Amino acid sequence: MRYEYTAIAAPARGEKAKEAKTPTDRYALGFTAELNRMAADGWEYIRADVLPSEERTGLTGRTTVYHNLLVFRRPLSHVSAAPRPEYPAAAAPAPEPRPQPQLPEAAAPQRPIQPETPEVPANEPTRD
């Protein structure tokens, strides 16, 4: 089975309620509300992660900030078990491979062409 995943930021504060007396109870209430909200859309809670993120501070500074994320997944309903090609099944057959052109065999090595005027080294004076 294939799944799609999403991650959301964990609640930073708890929710106020009569039955939630301690900060831990208030946070658990907010966390539960977030889990139920995602479950109503078909998302299954997988885990909570703390991940680093490098962020800018000032003009040139950087600092590492840690984010608390809640990870959810749900099955993909629109994907079949076997992927289907994007082209129709009755498409034209693939073209036959072209034969490689016949190249002539390499000719025998040729002698280098001699220059008509002999070269004069740069450091020798010329005779005029």
Structural domain tally of the chain? 1
- What per-residue confidence (pLDDT) applies to 67? 93
> Would the pTM of this model clear 0.75, i.e. be above it?
no
**89 assigned to some structural domain:** no
- What per-residue confidence (pLDDT) applies to 88? 58
φ/ψ bin of 122: left (φ > 0), alpha (ψ from -120 to 50), beta (otherwise): alpha
Instruction: Tell me how far CA of residue 72 lies from CA of 16, 29, 35, in angstroms.
Output: 25, 19, 9
**64 assigned to some structural domain:** yes
**Tokens representing 51?**
């991940």
Nearest to 51 by CA among 9, 21, 81: 9
Nearest to 73 by CA among 50, 42, 100: 42
**35 assigned to some structural domain:** yes
pLDDT (tens digit per residue) in 53-95: 999 998 899 999 999 999 999 999 765 555 555 655 556 666 7
Domain encompassing residue 71: 3-75
**114 assigned to some structural domain:** no
Cα–Cα dist 20/32, whole Å: 12
More confident call, 84 vs 12 = 12
Question: Which residue shows structure tokens 């490098």?
Answer: 54
For 105-128, letters b (16+ CB in 10 Å) and e give eeeeeeeeeeeeeeeeeeeeeeee
